[in-house]
């Protein structure tokens, strides 16, 4: 009962946006329900500054419903395909992460951006947006303003990617008969899981691919998300050295905090599906679950749109926006170039 009192209003608002967005996405698949939900949420947020009792439910939806959607997607996937996809995309993942971190390091010096802001934007761009920022911030002792600014920058480019990447994919000639090329592109070039799922869902809707692209993109993205662990560990060592010179105690690396547990649940769901299908269960049994996961994605997009403040970001962002844009463009170009060299498209 306490949960409903605290979160019910915010969850209800997200549902109220998600239902029409879901239906409009079915009617206009070239746009897709996820993008419609983001845009509707952003428009409402421009006029609804003080969300009051709805705030807690909106935040819960943007995090927990999205992670639940990813877990449910596992019920439509084969474990062998997951490992094959992760192996196929690994060179691209390594190169895009390296590119983003190098750009962040260079622009930190050139533009004289504060170290913590540069680290958070670079890590958020290269790995998985808000999750990477949340894992890294305590390690480098970032304050609330630095965290908020980095998340806002990442969110801004996430929304742009969710809206424009499907258009870009069509323009440059990605194969529309299956979702492999665009799925790998979305999984390696888009920062946050939310926008990865939004862009992939839109591509599936555009070309009536079911959940081919979504499955591919989520698998690639979760493989990429695992980089949180070594990156956070490396940052903890650097911060320890910095604090030692200043005579301060350092925040220690925590595997429990760094590892996103929903990845483990996603893999468990895939194991259940793989074993069940091997034992003769029809894969269509899991279809309602994967459809529910798509609706959850739309619902999470509504929450993320409601949490945005694009006007404030544009007014105060400045150099961090330039840094975020540079990382985003660099990752996009490297992902496309490597896919072309590897004959994925």
pLDDT tens-digit series, residues 177-233: 989 999 999 999 998 777 898 899 899 989 999 889 999 998 898 888 878 878 888
The predicted structure's pLDDT at residue 165:
95
Count structural domains, the chain.
1
Integer Cα distance of 339 and 332 in angstroms: 11
Answer yes or no: is pLDDT of 29 > 70: no
Nearest to 137 by CA among 124, 126, 156: 124
pLDDT tens-digit series, residues 99-144: 999 999 999 999 999 899 999 999 989 987 776 887 788 788 887 6
Is residue 261 one of the residues assigned to a domain? yes
Number of other CB atoms surrounding residue 252 within 10 Å: 11
Q: Which residue has the tokens 């630095």?
A: 146
Q: 337 is in which domain, residue-wise?
A: 78-284+309-341
Integer Cα distance of 190 and 162 in angstroms: 8
The predicted structure's pLDDT at residue 142:
83
CA-based torsion, 311, 318, 115, 338: positive or negative:
positive
Number of other CB atoms surrounding residue 216 within 10 Å: 30
Integer Cα distance of 328 and 192 in angstroms: 12
Integer Cα distance of 194 and 239 in angstroms: 30
The predicted structure's pLDDT at residue 30:
57
Is residue 54 one of the residues assigned to a domain? no
Is residue 139 one of the residues assigned to a domain? yes
Is residue 137 one of the residues assigned to a domain? yes
pLDDT tens-digit series, residues 244-275: 777 766 556 566 666 667 778 888 988 998 89
**Which one-letter DSSP state was computed for residue 252?**
P
- For residue 306, what are its two tokens? 């409601």
Is residue 267 one of the residues assigned to a domain? yes
Answer yes or no: is pLDDT of 313 > 80: no
**Residue 11, exposed/middle/buried by CB under 10 A (0-12, 13-18, 19+)?**
buried
Q: What is the DSSP string of 149-183?
A: HHHHHHHHHHHHHHHHHHHHHHHHT--SSSSHHHH
Integer Cα distance of 133 and 127 in angstroms: 9
- HSE-CB of 198 using CA atoms within 13 angstroms: 35
Is residue 41 one of the residues assigned to a domain? no
Integer Cα distance of 221 and 131 in angstroms: 12
pLDDT tens-digit series, residues 68-84: 887 887 887 778 877 88
Please check whether residue 187 is in contact with residue 217, taking contact to mean a CB–CB distance below 8 angstroms: yes
Q: Which residue has the tokens 């490992």?
A: 83
The predicted structure's pLDDT at residue 259:
63
Q: Which residue has the tokens 């599906």?
A: 273
Is residue 53 one of the residues assigned to a domain? no
Is residue 274 one of the residues assigned to a domain? yes
Q: What is the pTM of this model?
A: 0.75
């Amino acid at each position: 009962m306490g949960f409903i009192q605290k979160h019910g209003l915010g969850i209800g608002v997200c549902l109220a946006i998600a239902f029409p967005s879901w239906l409009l996405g079915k009617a206009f698949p070239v746009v897709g329900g996820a993008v419609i939900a983001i845009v509707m949420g952003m428009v409402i947020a421009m006029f609804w500054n003080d969300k009051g009792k709805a705030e807690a439910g909106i935040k819960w939806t943007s995090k927990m419903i999205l992670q639940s959607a990813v877990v449910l997607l596992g019920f439509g996937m084969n474990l062998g395909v997951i490992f094959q996809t992760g192996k196929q995309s690994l060179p691209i993942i390594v190169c895009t992460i390296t590119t983003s971190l190098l750009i962040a390091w260079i622009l930190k010096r050139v533009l004289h951006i504060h170290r913590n802001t540069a680290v958070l934007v670079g890590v958020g761009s290269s790995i998985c947006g808000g999750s990477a920022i949340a894992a890294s911030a305590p390690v480098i002792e970032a304050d609330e303003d630095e965290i908020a600014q980095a998340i806002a920058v990442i969110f801004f480019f996430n929304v742009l990617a969710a809206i424009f990447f499907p258009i870009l994919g069509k323009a440059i000639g990605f194969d529309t008969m299956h979702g492999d090329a665009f799925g790998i592109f979305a999984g390696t070039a888009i920062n946050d899981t939310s926008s990865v799922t939004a862009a992939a869902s839109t591509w599936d809707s555009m070309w009536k691919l079911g959940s081919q692209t979504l499955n591919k993109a989520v698998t690639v993205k979760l493989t990429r998300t695992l980089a949180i662990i070594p990156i956070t560990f490396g940052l903890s060592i650097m911060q320890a050295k910095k604090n030692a010179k200043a005579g301060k105690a350092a925040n220690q690396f925590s595997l429990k905090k760094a590892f996103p547990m929903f990845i483990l649940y996603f893999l468990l769901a895939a194991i259940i599906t793989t074993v069940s299908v091997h034992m003769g269960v029809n894969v269509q049994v899991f279809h309602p679950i994967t459809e529910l996961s798509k609706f959850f994605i739309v619902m999470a997009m509504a929450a993320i749109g409601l949490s945005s403040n694009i006007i404030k970001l544009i007014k105060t962002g400045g150099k961090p926006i330039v840094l975020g844009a540079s990382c985003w463009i660099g990752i996009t170009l490297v992902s496309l170039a490597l896919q072309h060299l590897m004959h994925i498209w």
